A and B are shown apart, each in its own frame.
Chain A
Amino acid sequence: MVWLLVLAELLTFALLFLSFAFARRWQPDLFAQGQATLDIGHGLANTLALVAASACAAAAVRSHRAGASRAWHWWMGALLSALAFLGMKSLEFAERFNQGFDWAESSFNMLYFMLTGFHYLHVVVGALVFVAMILSARRGRFGPSSIRSPESAAVFWHMVDLLWMVLFPLVYIIR
């Protein structure tokens, strides 16, 4: 079931990615101006937080398969990494809106906000899923024979990470 959700999300984001690439092709000056306001260092920090969460989620699944009682520690690591991403991105959004950012002002602003904002919402969902995993894992609900929920949670997060691996170079790097 989680794979159908993954495919639907991948197709939705594919449309947004291609819209961004086409719009940049048609309005190179506008996009160059908009992308110049983005900080690659922030984008890298966001990437490292997402990748850390993915590593923790993968380790959590391996721990559950091994029957480890403290597998929830890995979910906690994943949650903290996701919260680090959300904190950094929230500050970035707040800073831009304080500087008078209007998402409807240009096609760059609209596509930047749609891509990063939609991805941000997925990270929020991922963080909530991590909270659910921590609570259930601490109650001992997962183990080698009951692994489906942790696997699905991890797959959802890895999809969020996979999407960022396209979003980061497309929005922050390629100019």
Chain B
Amino acid sequence: MRMSMASNHKTAQEPPAVPGKLASWWRRIDWIWLALVGGSVLTAWLGEHPQTEGLGQMVIGAVLILSAAKGLLIALSYMELLHAPAIWRNLVVGWLALVLGAIAAISLWP
């Protein structure tokens, strides 16, 4: 009886089944993972695609910016540094900025 009442209540209150399932899947998608996959595929494409060969320094800059974006996503979201004490967040984000900045300077300096 209680189950039946619960079932009736559920039918009356919840949205239709298919949009509900879609919304559930939408919430479950790991957007950070998707962004990392997309950024990595774009990085490889920039490195491999013949059309980008003549662009030289612009490609290097774009690849390093993508690397910084992916690193930030990992540090702030997966490592949960966004909500961690500022000292740890600053150390890891500072490391990323210094290393990528130094690689850019060494690689792009005329």
A contact residues vs B (CB 8 Å cutoff): 3, 6-7, 10-11, 14, 17-18, 21-22, 24-25, 40-41, 43-44, 47-48, 51-52, 54-55, 57-59, 151, 154-155, 158-159, 161-162, 165-166, 168-170, 172-175
- Please, which residue of chain B has its CB at the minimum distance from the CB of A14? B99
Across the interface, B99 reaches (CB within 8 A) one of A24, A25, A166, A173, namely A166
Q: How far is the CB of A40 from chain B (nearest CB, A)?
A: 5
Please give me the residue from chain A that is nearest to B74 by CB atom: A162
CA distance A3 to B40 in the complex (A): 26
Chain B residues with Cβ under 8 A from A175's Cβ? 47
Given contacts A161-B78, A168-B43, A169-B64, contact A17 B37 (CB under 8 A): no
By a CB distance below 8 angstroms, the chain B residues around A21 are 102-103, 106-107
Are A158 and B103 neighbours in the complex by a CB distance under 8 Å?
A: no
Considering the complex, which residues of chain B in the window 28-59 have a beta carbon less than 8 Å from any beta carbon of chain A? 30, 32-33, 36-37, 40-41, 43-44, 46-48
B47 and A173: CB pair below 8 A?
Answer: yes
- Name the B residues within 8 Å of A6 (CB-CB): 92
Q: Number of residues in B with C-beta < 8 Å to the partner? A: 37
Q: Across the interface, do B74 and A174 meet the contact criterion of CB distance under 8 Å?
A: no
Take A21-B107, A59-B30, A166-B99 as given contacts and tell me if A48 and B40 are in contact as well, using a CB distance cutoff of 8 Å: yes
Q: List 8 A-B contacts (CB under 8 A).
A: A7-B91, A17-B103, A21-B102, A55-B33, A162-B71, A166-B100, A168-B40, A173-B63
Chain B 7-37, CB-CB to A under 8 Å as 1, else 0, gives: 0000000000000000000000010110011
Which residues of B are in contact with A by a Cβ distance under 8 Å? 30, 32-33, 36-37, 40-41, 43-44, 46-48, 60, 63-64, 66-67, 70-71, 74-75, 77-80, 88, 91-92, 95-96, 98-100, 102-103, 106-107
Which residues of chain B are near A58, meaning CB under 8 Å? 30, 32, 77-78
Indicate whether A18 sits within 8 Å of B102 (C-beta atoms), given known contacts A54-B33, A174-B60: yes
What residue in chain A is nearest B88 (Cβ atoms)? A3
The smallest beta-carbon distance between B85 and chain A, in angstroms, is 10
Whether A165 and B70, one on each chain, are in contact in the complex, defined by CB atoms closer than 8 angstroms, is yes
CB distance from B37 to the nearest CB of A (A): 6
- Provide the bound-state CA to CA distance between A162 and B77, in Å: 12
